[in-house]
């Protein structure tokens, strides 16, 4: 391998690594979301509050201090996220925080975040967590208070409160301002319009009646 070829190869690899960067570098210290829309300007593609009007309150939130309503869905969980409304200073920082309340025997069903990896820390209870990689290998762990677990970006994962009597609480950090969430069962059986029954029948080796039954059960 001659020196000229090595140089070209190194240049191409450096270029490709630059293209695969998850988030662009910030062009400013921060961008506070202008929730009132009166004193904003555009910076680095985002509408931001004039920095002269910034205060410490823009970087603090109590949104995660109150428990969520776990009876709002059939799975028995609640997720409260930081947003530009409750934490204006989080914009462009490439992160989101979430409070996860799980009822006794409750489940955060298998889901994925296409734009973020996630680290979850158990604050209360006994939570079984896990994810499945692209070779279909599953990694699981029981989390007690103070213990944490990482879910790699884009992979299916879940949280289950194994305690049948007491609720569980976790705090998660995600590596994107807009991580996105796709619940596997809902995306598969409750899409609009529906995935054709024939496709689901073949994919899961079930019949049309079972497809209808699953869709009915996922109504909530």
The confidence band for 138, taking pLDDT boundaries of 50, 70 and 90, is very high
Q: What is the pLDDT of residue 18?
A: 54
Question: Is the domain of 87 the same as that of 194?
Answer: no
Average pLDDT, the chain: 89
- Nearest Cα to Cα of residue 119 among 96, 144, 93, 138: 96
Consecutive H or E run containing 66: none
Range of the domain at 208: 190-220
- Residue 37 located in a structural domain: no
**Tally of structural domains, the chain:** 2
- Residue 3 located in a structural domain: no
Q: What is the CATH number of the domain that holds 109?
A: 2.60.120.10
Question: Is the domain of 102 the same as that of 203?
Answer: no
pTM summary value: 0.84
CA distance 119 to 102: 17
Question: Is the domain of 171 the same as that of 201?
Answer: no
- Residue 207 located in a structural domain: yes
- Start-to-end CA span in the chain (Å): 63
- Residue 141 located in a structural domain: yes
Question: Is the domain of 96 the same as that of 204?
Answer: no
- Residue 18 located in a structural domain: no
Question: Is the domain of 172 the same as that of 87?
Answer: yes
């Amino acid at each position: 391998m001659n020196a000229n070829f090595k140089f070209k190869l190194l240049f191409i690899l450096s270029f490709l690594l630059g293209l695969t960067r998850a988030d662009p570098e910030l062009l400013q210290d921060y961008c506070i979301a202008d929730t009132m829309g009166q004193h904003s300007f555009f910076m680095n593609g985002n509408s931001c509050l004039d920095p002269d009007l910034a205060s410490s309150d823009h970087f603090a939130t109590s949104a995660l201090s109150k428990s969520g309503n776990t009876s709002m869905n059939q799975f028995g969980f609640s997720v409260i996220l930081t947003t530009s409304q409750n934490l204006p200073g989080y914009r462009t920082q490439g992160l989101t925080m979430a409070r996860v309340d799980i009822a006794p025997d409750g489940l955060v069903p298998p889901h994925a975040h296409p734009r973020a990896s996630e680290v979850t820390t158990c604050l209360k209870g006994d939570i079984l967590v896990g994810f499945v990689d692209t070779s279909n290998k599953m990694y699981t762990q029981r989390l007690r208070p103070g213990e944490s677990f990482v879910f790699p970006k884009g992979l299916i994962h879940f949280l289950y409160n194994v305690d049948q009597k007491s609720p569980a609480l976790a705090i998660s950090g995600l590596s994107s301002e807009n991580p996105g969430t796709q619940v596997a069962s809902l995306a598969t059986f409750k899409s609009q319009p529906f995935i054709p029954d024939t496709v689901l029948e073949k994919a899961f080796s079930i019949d049309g009646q079972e497809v209808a039954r699953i869709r009915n059960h996922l109504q909530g």
